[in-house]
Structure 1
Amino acid sequence: MAANDFTIGVEEEYQIINPETRELRPRVSRVLPKAQENLGDKVSNEFFQSQIEIGTPVCRTLAEVRAELARLRRGVVDAAEKVGSRIAAAGTHPFSTWEGQPITPKPRYFELHTDFQQLAREQIIFGCHVHVGIADREEALQAMNRSRPWLAPLIALSASSPFWLGAETGYASYRTQLFARWPMTGTPHPFASRAEYDECVADLVAAGMIPDASKIYWDARLSSHFDTLEFRIADVCPTIDEAVMIAGLCRALARTGVEQHRRGDPLDAPRPELLNAAKWRASRYGLDGELIDVHARKSVPARAMIDTLLTYLRPALEDSGDWDEVSTLVRETLERGNSAKRQRWAFAQGGRFEDVLDLILAETVRGL
């Protein structure tokens, strides 16, 4: 096992908020320089000027992940407050419109807009990406193959985007639906080898669909810049506890996949139609309905599916020393509800989306 195997890096995309109206505020040009004074290149801009992104250093333990997320969130929050803004972590903004949102003036963002037009203009969404270090690229590919059946429960746990353009969407993670419209998203099909993966990327480049592998946005992918398996499935989590939970689960998925491959365990590769159904169900209902157990080929209560996930990952979580923390955080999420449920509760109290934003703002800084 390589020294950098199963390290963790987390990227989070945040909303820049007007503290008076609670609307999205295109102020990254003012917030980013302030944040970079203390955080350097660990904070950057994103597609829209009302977004800002952080990325942790390479972490070896969940305790390091927690400490770095707290440090980086605090740095961005403080920078925003110095220029009269706030920072919120949720998969969508409950009521701000995409119309009139200025794009960050960088060539790559203008190119995305030119290529994808309305899809790009509506891309006001915020995700959490977890990188898990796997030095052997063949093993990383096989871990990606084996993680596919388990991605949908991560949506259910992290769902934080029930509202869109001032409306109840009926989805726990509407961000998942918005992102699914892009051509290079979704759950990848299994690959027999790294060579086959590289051939697929080369074909897409040759066809003029993408310039390079970095423009593949699958739910799980081999990073084009790091020796990592990158999980891109989750909504950004309002609380640090939830972000740590998702990071721990992703690492356990990667580790389990690698160890199964090394043992020569057969690969269970459910049909893509079933995986798509499981993903949709998780996006629609979150933890408040039935999810699809793709191995058993049946619908089960969400709690039962999450229990199955924990059972599957327990050996890897115990090997990493993460079982107690991650299992506790999962149980707490099941008890209090994911962010989508909490946001709906906040809206139900007075019918005000501003109250939803106040909840998200408070949870974003909890634990800092």
Structure 2
Amino acid sequence: MHDPHITLGVEEEFFLVDRESGALACRTPELVEQAGEALGSVVTSELILCQIETATPVCATLDELRYELDRQRTALAKVADAHGLGVLAAGTHPVSGWREQEVDQEVVRYAELAERYRHLAHRQIICGCHVHLGLGERSEEIRVMNQLLGWLPTLVALSASSPFWQGADTGYSAYRVEMWGGWPTAGFPPVVEDRAAFDRTVEQLVQVDAITDASNLYWYARPSLRHPTLEVRPCDTMTELDDVVAVSGLIRGMAATALGSAGISVPHERSVLDAAMWRAARFGLEEQLVDPLFVRLRPAAEVVEHLLDWARPGLEQHADAERVEEGTRRIVERGTGAARQREVLERTGDLVEVTRSLLL
């Protein structure tokens, strides 16, 4: 087993909503500076003015991560409340449409994205949770990324919290994945042998004008441009704090297991990966998932257990096994965020009540 301790940090994207109606509110600029002062940490705007993002400091333990996530969520909700706003934690907003929202034109990068991608950029009313892993050696990031690809659909199934879109039940558990897929560099990253090969791929994408730099890579996993980390990006924003901690800890355990494995693991065919991701987005944990080690369908709960078994060496390395296994199994037993949203709708018949159930 690889010895160095893997650090982690989490970025969470949230929606700002009107506290009374629950509708999306394009008021991020009012909150960013004040929320940053309250938190003493990174709070930024996102592409759309109804979104806001927080980023934890580098954390060494899951206790530390949970403390930081709780502190940030609590402080952000308090600042928002003072402005008559709420903070909604889910992959999509249950009711509000994208046409009424606005791109943050004050940020040059966002303005350029809106001009380049037009309609595609304007409808990205989706929120995700990104886990950054500090592996110690940047040279290891590609090898670890390659070995994680087959398990990323299972992470989507566990974190699924985006069943509704513009007032309709999409039939999906993680519809955010389908919306995200329109970007030219969305989806699974290419399997490459090393960082030099990865950098050549990025250079080619820049040459053909698909992206301006590596920050425009919207793959499910990528070496971060801004930080010395591997960024794992497929998950929806999760409503429950302990779900975030469990999934983040699981991702770190997966990475540690991968670090301890010899050689480069090449996952199965890209078409099978894409099909596995579609199935995870469509059904969440309520049907079958693709078991990546055997490339066959199995009940979702069995695939989750297989992932826990696979990740156990890395979980034990960080003394996280019991906590992550309990938290992950709790998601399976209780149901995903998407399933809980549908339960609220069935009980109340009101998507506004679903929206309120998602507020921090």
TM-score by length of 1: 0.95
Work out the CA distance in 2 between the residues paired with 1:43 and 1:4. 29
Alignment of 1:93-242 (within 5 A): 93-104=93-104, 105-242=106-243
Q: Secondary structure at the match of 1:16?
A: strand
Per the alignment, residue 272 of structure 1 pairs with 270
Per the alignment, residue 291 of structure 1 pairs with 289
Equivalent residues of 1:2, 1:135 under 8 A apart: no
Alignment of 1:48-63 (within 5 A): 48-63=48-63
Work out the CA distance in 2 between the residues paired with 1:171 and 1:165. 13
Residues 230-270 of structure 1 show CA distances to partners (whole Å, capped at 9, x for unaligned) of: 0001000101101101111111121111111xx34x62420
Amino acid at match of 2:237: V
Equivalent residues of 1:19, 1:85 under 8 A apart: yes
Equivalent residues of 2:2, 2:259 under 8 A apart: no
Range 156-165 or range 219-228, more displaced: 219-228
TM-score by length of 2: 0.97
Q: Displacement of 1:323 after TM fit?
A: 0.6
Per the alignment, residue 298 of structure 2 pairs with 300
Q: Displacement of 1:294 after TM fit?
A: 2.5
Amino acid at match of 1:72: Q
Equivalent residues of 1:4, 1:133 under 8 A apart: no
Amino acid at match of 1:258: L
Work out the CA distance in 2 between the residues paired with 1:283 and 1:15. 21
Q: Secondary structure at the match of 1:99?
A: helix
Work out the CA distance in 2 between the residues paired with 1:76 and 1:3. 36
Work out the CA distance in 1 between the residues paired with 2:352 and 2:4. 44
Q: Displacement of 1:3 after TM fit?
A: 9.7
Q: Displacement of 1:359 after TM fit?
A: 1.3
Over aligned residues, Cα RMSD in angstroms?
1.5
Equivalent residues of 1:5, 1:132 under 8 A apart: no
Q: Displacement of 1:19 after TM fit?
A: 1.3
Amino acid at match of 1:169: T
Per the alignment, residue 30 of structure 2 pairs with 30
Per the alignment, residue 78 of structure 1 pairs with 78
Equivalent residues of 1:229, 1:254 under 8 A apart: no
Equivalent residues of 1:127, 1:232 under 8 A apart: yes
Equivalent residues of 2:191, 2:266 under 8 A apart: no
- Give the 3 Å change call, closer, same or farther, for CA 69–296 of structure 1 in structure 2: same
Q: Displacement of 1:49 after TM fit?
A: 1.2
Amino acid at match of 1:309: L
Equivalent residues of 1:103, 1:109 under 8 A apart: yes
Q: Displacement of 1:190 after TM fit?
A: 1.1
Equivalent residues of 1:32, 1:79 under 8 A apart: no
Work out the CA distance in 1 between the residues paired with 2:41 and 2:325. 33
Q: Secondary structure at the match of 2:358?
A: helix
Q: Displacement of 1:41 after TM fit?
A: 4.3
| Structure 1: stretches of 5+ with no match in the other structure | none
Work out the CA distance in 2 between the residues paired with 1:131 and 1:163. 28
Per the alignment, residue 346 of structure 1 pairs with 344
Q: Secondary structure at the match of 1:37?
A: helix
Per the alignment, residue 327 of structure 2 pairs with 329
Range 249-258 or range 308-317, more displaced: 249-258
Amino acid at match of 1:134: L
Alignment of 1:317 with 2:315, yes or no, is yes
Equivalent residues of 1:274, 1:294 under 8 A apart: no
Equivalent residues of 2:144, 2:255 under 8 A apart: yes
Runs of 4+ in 1 over 6 A off after TM superposition: 1-4
Q: Displacement of 1:40 after TM fit?
A: 3.7
Pairs aligned (count): 359
Work out the CA distance in 2 between the residues paired with 1:269 and 1:34. 45
Q: Displacement of 1:168 after TM fit?
A: 0.3
Q: Displacement of 1:219 after TM fit?
A: 0.2
Q: Secondary structure at the match of 1:25?
A: coil
Q: Secondary structure at the match of 1:80?
A: helix
Work out the CA distance in 2 between the residues paired with 1:133 and 1:226. 9
| Structure 2: stretches of 5+ with no match in the other structure | none
Work out the CA distance in 2 between the residues paired with 1:36 and 1:189. 36
